[in-house]
Amino acid sequence: MKVLNFGSLNVDYVYQVDHILLPGETIAASSRTIFAGGKGLNQSIALAKAGAPVFHAGLVGDDGDILLEELSANRVDTRFVERKSGPGGHTVIQVDKDGQNSILLFGGTNRCITQEFADRVLAAFCEGDWLVLQNEINELAYIMQKAHGRGMKIALNPSPFDSNLDSCDLSLVNLFMINEIEGGQITGEKDPEKILERMKQLYGGAQVLLTLGGDGSLFRDGESVYRQPVFKVRAVDTTAAGDTFTGYFLTGLLEGKGPEEALRTAAKAAAIAVTRPGAAGSIPCRDEVARWQG
């Protein structure tokens, strides 16, 4: 079984600020740091650090060296990451004194995926392999259809949630990895229990991981619902905490761990990640998570 993450790669420009900018306001940042990021890249690195055999597919632009180096340094297979001239995906991230962030995203080459490229990548995967997707690349609907046609299983983190998802056949998804805002956008419900109930009505057989920020997470598999509280830590930067959680959780399930253990390990990994600055670089490795006492 192989894991293919067809996803975004962003250079994150992170600015430390006193508070997140208000409309019309100008403030000075106390520092700027450049990190490898992107929901796709972060989740590939979380999967790899958690122990999954992961292939990343995507497109980097002129500034993509840092992204390829970060993936390779973390044992993510990059044979399906191609270069395209032009500006690559990047973000401007403000991080305030409480570790909260605000992200401005420019898609760049992440939005230049062609169906021909998708076909070429998917040809290397087959029945029983997993496809992991987020919503920072184009051609999602096509990639999902083709992967399903090849018998692959699909894990979707529909983040950031927008109208690009309207064209996707979400009934093809085997595992949704959503937060409560995305859950609300998909179902129209606010209450976590009702989100899970409605997801069941809409997408019957799919498993659903629902993360709830400081209120922990829920996982629904058939009639069973599992809960995991957060481990309380002092947050420095919450960027990539969700990506860390999803990568660790999915790896746990793929390794055959029970949902309780997979959730607990993912919650520990995300707690460690928020105590460090940056995106991919803040994701802990498996041994560190195993040793961590909170």
- Contact call for residue 239 and ligand RIB (CB under 6 A): yes
Stretch that binds ligand RIB, among 38-46, 119-127, 181-189, 200-208 (CB under 6 A): 38-46
Tell me which of 91, 217, 244, 246 binds ligand RIB, using CB under 6 A.
91
Tell me which of 279, 281, 282, 289 binds ligand RIB, using CB under 6 A.
279
Per this entry, what is the length of the chain?
Answer: 294
Q: Please give the angle made by the CA atoms of 136, 194 and 131, to the nearest 5 degrees.
A: 30
- Contact call for residue 70 and ligand RIB (CB under 6 A): no
Stretch that binds ligand RIB, among 32-40, 48-56, 175-183, 188-196 (CB under 6 A): 32-40
- Quote the least distance from Cβ 119 to ligand RIB, whole Å: 25
Sign of CA dihedral 66, 16, 178, 171: negative
Q: Could you give the CA distance from residue 98 to residue 116 in angstroms, rounded to a whole number?
A: 44
Say if CB 5 and CB 57 are below 8 A apart: yes
Identify which of 115, 111, 104 has the alpha carbon closest to the alpha carbon of residue 134.
111
Say if CB 86 and CB 109 are below 8 A apart: yes
Q: Could you give the CA distance from residue 194 to residue 200 in angstroms, rounded to a whole number?
A: 10
Per 3-state DSSP, the chain is made up of helix, strand and coil in percentages (nearest 5) of 40, 25, 35
Question: What token pair was written down for 273?
Answer: 């990640």
Stretch that binds ligand RIB, among 15-23, 184-192, 240-248, 257-265 (CB under 6 A): 240-248
**Residue whose CB is less far from ligand RIB, 65 or 255:** 65
- Quote the least distance from Cβ 37 to ligand RIB, whole Å: 3
Tell me which of 7, 37, 192, 284 binds ligand RIB, using CB under 6 A.
37
- Contact call for residue 7 and ligand RIB (CB under 6 A): no
DSSP one-letter code for 138: S
Q: Could you give the CA distance from residue 168 to residue 154 in angstroms, rounded to a whole number?
A: 12
Q: Could you give the CA distance from residue 89 to residue 86 in angstroms, rounded to a whole number?
A: 10
**Residue whose CB is less far from ligand RIB, 38 or 192:** 38
Catalytic sites, residue numbers: 243
Q: Which 127-156 residues touch ligand RIB, going by CB under 6 A?
A: 136
Q: Which 96-115 residues touch ligand RIB, going by CB under 6 A?
A: 103, 105
Site residues (vs ligand RIB, CB under 6 A): 8, 10, 12, 37-39, 42, 91, 103, 105, 136, 239-240, 242-243, 279
